[in-house]
Copies of this chain bind each other. A is one copy, B any other.
Amino acid sequence: MTNKYSSADAVEQAFYAAFANCDIAAMELVWDSDDVLCIHPGSSPISGHNAVMRGWTEILSNAELPNLQFKVLNRVATSDLAVHVVEEHISPRDGTLAAAIVLATNVYRRTDAGWLIVEHHASATRAQHEHHTLQ
């Protein structure tokens, strides 16, 4: 009962703070205990709390602290479920690389333990180049 996020926005803030700080313990607190799914850019889906946390642990323990900014582009919500489309700008803090732009669909659910994240689907965008194809 150390954290009870009162809204989708609150747990979203905590998720991105954990990501930006490479804080594995904080990351664990924002995910629901069951029935969760995570897709990292270009990767296959990871299902289940333990497997999702193994993925984040691998990422966060190997990363330099990133410069991470995010902007919510779209919200769809009912009283118990919220879906946010988020644009993430991720770059090294030393300024050696331009920010990568990642698009994420994040799904938050209201549980007895407050709002928690149940899905994160992240994908890379092609820089500037807009052309729609089937694949």
A residues with a Cβ closer than 8 A to B are 35, 37, 39-45, 47, 55, 58-59, 63, 66, 73-74, 76-81, 83, 85, 87, 90, 100, 102-103, 105, 107, 109, 118-119, 121, 123-126, 130-135
Contacts and interface: CB of A to CB of B under 8 A. Distances in A.
A44 B130 contact: yes
B119 A76 contact: yes
Contact of A102 (B87, B102, B135): B135
- This chain's copy number in the assembly: 2
25 contacts: A35-B76, A37-B73, A40-B132, A40-B133, A41-B135, A42-B125, A43-B126, A44-B103, A47-B73, A58-B132, A63-B134, A76-B81, A76-B107, A76-B119, A81-B81, A83-B107, A83-B119, A85-B121, A100-B135, A103-B121, A105-B105, A105-B107, A105-B119, A121-B123, A124-B135
Given A42-B126, A135-B124, A74 B47 contact: yes
Contacts of A59: 132-134
Nearest to A128: B44
A85 B35 CA distance: 12
Contacts of A74: 35, 37, 45, 47, 119
